[in-house]
Amino acid sequence: MTLTSILVALGLQLHLPQLADVVEPIETGHTTIAAAAAVLALTETQSASAPRAESPTDGAEVTFYNVNTRETETYFFRFDGVMSHEDEARLMHLFRCKRSGHERKPDQGLVQIIARIGAQYPGHVIELVSAHRAIPYAVRTSKHWSGHAMDFRIRGVSLVDVRTFLWDMAATRPMGVGHYHKDGFLHVDDRRGEPSIGWDVRRRGRENYHYNPRWARPLS
């Protein structure tokens, strides 16, 4: 059996160095076995050094605690935002309007953002402050009304740390990031088709919104 027949049998099509560079001259009777061993060793080395490409079905486990209803739910969120009908129904209920109980399907882009947050802070509970808001507690242009937004904080992680992570993400996907200092939570929303924007709120009242603060540096 020749080295070529071994490679064909294994179904290997590799761009490898010349075997003369990696196999020392040995007795003719052992050449085939030694060459095959060298090929397999090189194959394993190449496989180990190549990082696995991320799959859309990859994701992160996320545990939510709703501060208004005291409900706790755990999900596995995929990076592509696709959810099972069962998990989607559970998330709709958890994200329901805290004043009216009205439910709305969370936007797929928001789920994608949540998956990235979960991957960045594994094992940390996300405290949900607000998600969907129904009329008349929101206007129809609100990201909360449309299911694109949530207000939250993460147990054991500073708001500034999470804010920085979100704004870095905003460089590659359009999103809104708000820091509500007095109330101690962050806002995040998916806004595909719009520019990313950041804002600070240090006192309650619409007039106290400060858009494009220092931390929301221009995105290149």
pTM score, whole prediction? 0.77
Q: Which of 54, 95, 94 is nearest to 78 (CA)?
A: 54
- Work out the mean pLDDT of the chain and round it to a whole number: 85
Give 123-179 pLDDT, tens digit per residue.
999 999 999 999 999 999 999 999 999 999 999 999 999 999 999 999 999 999 999
The reported pLDDT for the residue numbered 218 is 77
Give 84-136 pLDDT, tens digit per residue.
999 999 999 999 999 999 999 999 999 999 999 999 999 999 999 999 999 99
Asked whether the beta carbons of 205 and 217 are under 8 A apart, the reply is no
The reported pLDDT for the residue numbered 10 is 46
Give 7-47 pLDDT, tens digit per residue.
445 454 444 444 444 444 445 555 555 555 554 554 555 55
The reported pLDDT for the residue numbered 34 is 56
Which of 17-26, 74-83, 201-210 holds the top average pLDDT? 74-83
Strands lying side by side in the sheet with 59-66: 72-78, 59-66, 126-130, 149-154, 185-190, 175-180, 197-201, 209-211
The reported pLDDT for the residue numbered 57 is 86
